[in-house]
Amino acid sequence: MNVAIVGTGQSKFSRDSGLQIRELAFEAYREAMKDVNLSKKDIDASIVCSAPEYDPQRSPSSGISEYLGLDPRPTFYAESICSSSTTGVRAGYGLIGSGLHDVLVIVGFQKMSELSSTEAQERMERGADIMWESPFGLTMPAGYAIHARAHMEEFGTTEEQMAKVKVKSGKYSKLNPDAVFQREVMVDEVLNSQVISSPLKFFDCCANADGASCMILAKEDKAKEITDTPVWVEGIGSATNVVSLSAREKLTGLKSAEKASQTAYEMAGISPEDVDVAEVHDCFTIAEIMAYEDLGFCEKGEGGKLIEEEQTYMGGKYPVNIDGGLLSKGHPVGATGGSQVNTIFKQLRGEGGRIQVEGAETGLVHNIGGIGTYANVIIFGR
Amino acid sequence: MNVAIVGTGQSKFSRDSGLQIRELAFEAYREAMKDVNLSKKDIDASIVCSAPEYDPQRSPSSGISEYLGLDPRPTFYAESICSSSTTGVRAGYGLIGSGLHDVLVIVGFQKMSELSSTEAQERMERGADIMWESPFGLTMPAGYAIHARAHMEEFGTTEEQMAKVKVKSGKYSKLNPDAVFQREVMVDEVLNSQVISSPLKFFDCCANADGASCMILAKEDKAKEITDTPVWVEGIGSATNVVSLSAREKLTGLKSAEKASQTAYEMAGISPEDVDVAEVHDCFTIAEIMAYEDLGFCEKGEGGKLIEEEQTYMGGKYPVNIDGGLLSKGHPVGATGGSQVNTIFKQLRGEGGRIQVEGAETGLVHNIGGIGTYANVIIFGR
């Protein structure tokens, strides 16, 4: 069974939207429905994705589905923290591929401004090991800082190389009107910004945001009726790592992402070099460098060199996060994966505008939950 | 693609287990794995289900999957409040039916004793309409009390008939060692118990509980290797209703359940009269009476008569909740659907012991989330 994405959309990402979650969701849904030959009554079901406990609404899937006018059709909530909306794609692929549904809507959302940053941080920490690690200070930045240190120690990766990930992000952010931050940042600016969790500084970290994303999935025959340019889901890989960092085999990469990408490549029948454009989960600059390696865009330990050589810029061997990535777009947790898919969808349809990678045929999304606890890698083809 | 349940298990349900959620999950998993020809390495993935915000662990799927020794295989969290674990079955059917996985484990859990009843009640209310209804007192009992009043008004259903649902539950609870309450209750006792939300009294309501359930799903060829007596998923129906009770077309039944059952019967190619044994979501006595009608076990308005005539006892036309149901077993929210499946699984394999319905070939599970907001109906065959 072939499953396609036939429409995508996202809301503007912002630090404080002033909108309710259902309004954010509607903004993304409206955009996804804009150019499709599809009426609401042909949608069979929805899946709603977010990280839990930010919004006072508990079990938000029914309310959002209702607001989009999709009741009484089934809906449920799928979650893997920051990778929730690509988990939605995996679950949606299943519902369509098994024949239960023909067309479904996946909404990812988060309203981070609902809480203070301290409260938001507390929620995030409870996604890590709540017995032995988060109570002792293992915040998200600290978890990635440990990975950064290990990577520097083992491979000689430098703070300048990490800074260059942010420089690339800033460069492309100016072309993305949906991004929270739209300005260029220089290496020195990154290096001199406030230390958050050494060696990670302010500009090495992405920011909490409000936002929503939406994807419409359809089975093959329906997809071809809905649009002339469906984008096919060709490979899905998903894996986990143990929650506790202290129990992991290594800290220089994410085993979950490595395994998920192997599964995805195998299912799609391609190799890393076949990827024309990729969106990776750059919640921190080091995360993008590790992603290069976990995805096989370079050898282990060569990620720093890859960005230094600008191989992940447009025109390089692997254009990565040319929409600005999380570092500039902001990270509305449950919406992030869908926003990545939105960018790849447009690329494969040649609708990338000023960031279009010429002739892009194969795109990849790498979406991580927690400190590498969950990983989804999805390969799309046109 | 045929998908089967090859093993099920549940922990003891109790008011205060003193266990961590992962320990509850393991208890259910161990039982599900007991009689299967399956080693852990043949399990491809897991889905973890609960109602959110009862346990301090956020995003519990990774920790539970890890505790069961299933990492680095993928896992995610699926939720539709009280119907979460049958939502897990729906998502799992998709992952297997689409060819992504061959064998997977679904765990449902809840540790309600983590919170005081007031706190638990506050969480539950936030699953309803948090703008216009729950802040004004629409608790779960109140929501079902409104349905009970409407049913009494429109069909002449009586408090005695509702009480008889609890009498049946008490009768069978004595045969279920996993139930929280194991004792018979008389009609007078129900009628004279404390009013919770008129006309619902103490014994008309199920109780919060701790517990976990586990189901192992497999695709056809694997299922036949794993067990000689797989139980097949023959129909799955799911639907929603608008969240606000004030916006519903009627309050004498659950539109979500009606629609879900129609879909499930159609997919299975059967009619209500083909059902040999059923588990329905009796969170309140009125809920079971409405379920009879929504599932087509009797005409609309005849539910009270059906229990009065003891047609839903063993030996009656439709044996319902002969494991005691939620009213006696207790309601560990995310575990409840899996516990219902566990009972039907054993019935269809002839392993029901003292509550075995002779020659049961077709079983049905009816699992509701919120005040009828979500409904899953699943039909199983042997």
Quick one: angle between helices B285-294 and B140-155, nearest 10? 60
Fold of B117-208+234-381: Peroxisomal Thiolase; Chain A, domain 1 (3.40.47)
Mean pLDDT of the region B148-159: 98
Contact residues on chain B for A98, CB-CB shorter than 8 A: 1, 3, 93-98
Clarify whether A331 is annotated catalytic: yes
Q: Mean pLDDT throughout B165-187?
A: 97
Q: Is B35 exposed, middle or buried (0-12, 13-18, 19+ CB in 10 A)?
A: middle
SS3 (DSSP) at A304 = helix
Residues of B with catalytic roles: 82, 331
* Chain A residues within 8 A of B54 when measuring between CB atoms: none
Q: Which of B54, B62, B75, B84 best probes binding to A when mutated, by most A CB atoms within 10 angstroms? A: B62
* A173-185 burial: b if 16+ Cβ within 10 Å, else e: beebebbbbbeeb
Interface check B65 vs A, CB under 8 A: yes
Same fold: A3-116+209-231 with A127-206+234-381? yes
- Say how many CA atoms lie within 13 Å of A280 toward its Cβ: 30
Asked if A97 and B94 come within 8 Å (Cβ–Cβ), the reply is: yes
What SS3 state is found at B215?
A: strand
Residues A97, B93: C-beta atoms closer than 8 Å: no
DSSP 3-state of A308? helix
**B76-91 pLDDT, tens digit each:** 999 999 999 999 999 9
H runs (alpha helix) in chain B: 21-32, 60-67, 84-97, 117-125, 140-155, 159-173, 187-192, 220-226, 255-268, 285-294, 303-308, 325-329, 336-348
The vertex-A291 CA angle with A286 and A297, nearest 5°, equals 125
Q: Which of B71, B240, B370 sits opposite A74 (nearest CB)?
A: B240
List the catalytic residue out of A147, A151, A281, A331. Answer: A331
Q: Does A71 touch chain B (CB under 8 A)?
A: yes
Catalytic residue among A82, A205, A206, A283: A82
A72 chain-B contacts, CB cut-off 8 A: 239-241, 255-256, 259
B249 interfacial to chain A (CB closer than 8 Å): no
Q: Which helix (H) or strand (E) holds A26?
A: helix A21-32
Chain A: residue whose CA lies nearest to B247: A66
Smallest Cβ–Cβ distance between A62 and the set B66, B74, B374 belongs to B374
Q: How far is CA A335 from CA A301, A316, B59, B88, in A?
A: 30, 28, 16, 22
Which of A129-133, B137-141, B218-222, B370-374 has the lowest average pLDDT? A129-133
Q: What is the DSSP letter of A176?
A: -
Distances (CA, A) of A294 to A97, A272, B83: 28, 10, 37
Q: How far is CA B205 from CA B119, B166, B376, in A?
A: 18, 9, 21
Q: ipTM value, please give it.
A: 0.98
* B chain contacts of residue A88, beta-carbon cutoff 8 Å: none
d(CA B95, CA B7): 18
Q: What is the pLDDT of residues B284-299, one digit of tens each?
A: 999 999 999 999 999 9
Which residues, in sequence order, are bridge partners of residue B110? B211
Beta strands in A125-250 (DSSP E): 195-197, 200-201, 210-219, 231-240
A101 catalytically annotated: no
**What are the boundaries of each domain within chain B?**
3-115+209-231, 117-208+234-381
pLDDT at B131: 87
Q: Which fold has domain A127-206+234-381?
A: Peroxisomal Thiolase; Chain A, domain 1 (3.40.47)
Please determine, for residue B334, whether its predicted confidence score (pLDDT) is greater than 90.
Answer: yes
Residue type present at position B354: R
Q: Are B335 and B212 in contact (CB under 8 A)?
A: yes
The verdict on A373 touching B (C-beta cutoff 8 Å) is yes
Residues 27-56 (B) with a CB less than 8 A from some CB of A: 45, 51-53, 56
Contact B246/A at CB under 8 A: no
Interface test with B, best of A43, A50, A100 (most B CBs within 10 A): A100
Q: In 3D, which of A54, A180, A37, A34 has the Cα closest to residue A113?
A: A54
User: What whole-number distance in Å separates Cα of residue B47 and Cα of residue B90?
Assistant: 11
Which residues in A lie closer than 8 A to residue B127 (C-beta atoms)?
A: 58-59
Q: Which residues of B touch A238 (CB under 8 A)?
A: 45, 74, 76
* Residue of chain B with shortest Cα separation from A97: B98
Per-residue confidence (pLDDT) for residue A359, from 0 to 100 = 97
Average pLDDT value for chain B: 97
Which residue ranges in chain A fall short of pLDDT 70? 1
Residue in chain A closest to B77 (alpha carbons) equals A79
Token readout for A250 is 């290594």
Tally of CB atoms within 10 A around A237: 26
Question: B95 and A90 in contact by Cβ < 8 A?
Answer: yes
CATH, domain A3-116+209-231, list 3.40.47.10, 3.90.1150.10, 3.30.360.10, 3.10.310.10: 3.40.47.10
Yes or no, beta carbons of A91 and B72 under 8 Å apart? no
Any bridge partners for residue B239, and if so which? B375
pLDDT digits (tens, 9 = 90+) for B119-145: 998 999 999 989 889 999 999 999 999
Q: Give B310→chain A minimum CA distance, Å.
A: 33
What per-residue confidence (pLDDT) applies to A1?
A: 66
Which class does domain B3-115+209-231 fall in?
A: alpha beta
A127 touches chain B (CB under 8 A): yes
Phi, psi of A196 (to 5 degrees): -100, -55
pLDDT band at B1 (very low <50, low <70, confident <90, very high): low
Tokens of A6: 């036939």
A285-294 vs A255-268: helix axis angle to the nearest 10? 50
Find tokens 């998502």 and name the residue: B91
d(CA A248, CA A370): 14
**Type of residue at B147:** H
Distance CA B1, CA A116 (A): 48
Q: Given CB atoms, is A230 within the 8 Å cutoff of chain B?
A: no
pLDDT tens string A169-179: 999 999 999 99
DSSP-derived secondary structure for B278-309: EE---SBHHHHHHHHHHTTSS-TT-HHHHHHT
A119 inside 8 A of chain B by CB: no
For a pLDDT cut of 90, what percent of chain B falls above it?
Answer: 96
Is A367 in CB contact (< 8 Å) with chain B?
Answer: no
Following DSSP, what letter does each residue of B134-181 receive, concatenated?
GGGT--HHHHHHHHHHHHHHHH---HHHHHHHHHHHHHHHTT-TT-S-
| Residue of B45, B51, B87 lying closest to A76 (CB–CB) | B87
Q: Which residues in chain A are contacts of B45 at CB distance < 8 A?
A: 238
Nearest to A100 among B56, B61, B94 (CB): B94
